[in-house]
Amino acid sequence: MSGATILHVDLDAFFAAVEQRDRPELRGRPVIVGGGPGDRGVVSAASYEARRFGVRSAMPLRTAAARCPEGVFLPVDGVRYRAASAAVMEILRRFSPRVEQVSIDEAVLDVAGSEALHGDGEAIARAIRAAISGELGLTASVGVATTRLVAKIASDLRKPDALVVVPPGTEEAFLAPLPIDRLWGVGEKTRTALADYGVTTIGELAALPEDILRRRFGNLGPPLRERARGIDPTPVGGGEAAKSVGHEHTFDTDTNDHATIDRTLLALAEGVARRLRAGGVKAGTVAVKVRDSSFETHTRQRTLPTPTDRADEIRSVAAELAAPLVRGARIRLLGISATGLTDREQLGLFDDPDGRRARADRAQAAADAVRRRFGPGAIVRAGLLDGGIADPFERDSTTAPEAPRIGRESDPPPSGGAAGTS
């Protein structure tokens, strides 16, 4: 099917599926990955058997236990999941060099140029699914379309173990009957605003006059309508490794002083945030690295609901991730890294009704300009004054900390905070 060359591959209930594959006695049982039923963490993944009880990712484990008392609760095993993910990516690269890994359990690839060797997009999708199933014992849902946006929606439409092909020229008709919240960038607030115009489906949004969308949503309105029509010019990456920005700080003397640890995390977050802004990108994931006096190193990461380049938001997530790692220990090294970098703005049409974030952005831009002209020490946060913490730009490594191990978070995300599950 010439033209439909973008494939979105999404592994089904990935963490739970790996557990069921490796432990045959769990097949057909409701498996919940994230920790114990009485823990304060959240669900990282739920098998489809568990989802029938209403268990979902990011749900508190205690809620999941109440909904599914017969569920098998397991801790996250990042080593096995990363190994399985890497094996899947190797399969994808057999069919195209243009593979962009979106997360540990999904990727998008452009197979244009591979058709002479492997067949059209649909044939390649079938071959990929067969290879993942036959070689790895896992299932994947695949969407095939002319754009990554439509392919993503297609892969999610009939999970699990599904193949959905959207032929060229049918994108708008394919999207039209789907509920509006399936469209990227449409959250609860945007959905509510569109309901004022009687819009509940993607097709109704596509039919809405552009001038109405522009009046209501400003410059964000026309792109929203374009996506509703299946238009997405975003190219597939060339298979480059995910980039990251990070800073580390090694203490002169191992410390268990919480004030020192807090100031250090703030300084590291400031350095990471400045580099993000300088590069015109935002972080989709924040990771922390903690090395204690016995040289034991621990890492934790969290995917953010909205990418950020704000030091306060990075520091908040990092502090929460680090809290259980520094408790009762003497710390030798701290590090913060930002990964999942993107230069795309996620739609947040009503996230700043009083303009507070916009004013903060302007103030931050002005501060950055002063630092560029007069040096990083020209403007310093009050919390870092006389704190004995060197500016990361002046002293610490600018290489990212080692790839974080996937692990269960000790607590659910704070209300209203920038936290989530990967």
Helices 14-22 + 78-95 axis angle, to 10: 100
Q: Are 95 and 57 in contact (CB under 8 A)?
A: no
Q: Are 302 and 318 in contact (CB under 8 A)?
A: no
The residue from 106, 270, 313, 409 that is catalytic is 106
Alpha helices in 221-296 (DSSP H): 221-228, 258-279
What is the DSSP-derived secondary structure letter of residue 414? P
Any idea what the Cα angle at residue 371 is, between residues 369 and 375, rounded to 5°?
A: 145
Paired residues of 308 in beta bridges: 283
| Amino acid letter, 397 | S
Distinct helix (H) and strand (E) counts, the chain = 16, 12
* CA-wise closest residue to 110 among 70, 135, 81, 145: 145
Does 106 participate in catalysis according to the annotation? yes
Report the distance separating Cα 51 and Cα 73, nearest Å: 13
Report the distance separating Cα 87 and Cα 95, nearest Å: 14
Report the distance separating Cα 29 and Cα 49, nearest Å: 6
Strands across the sheet with 31-33, in order? 45-46, 31-33, 72-74
Paired residues of 303 in beta bridges: 285
DSSP H or E run through 45: strand 45-46
Report the distance separating Cα 421 and Cα 103, nearest Å: 11
* CA-wise closest residue to 246 among 294, 301, 324, 325: 301
Q: Annotated active-site positions, please? A: 106
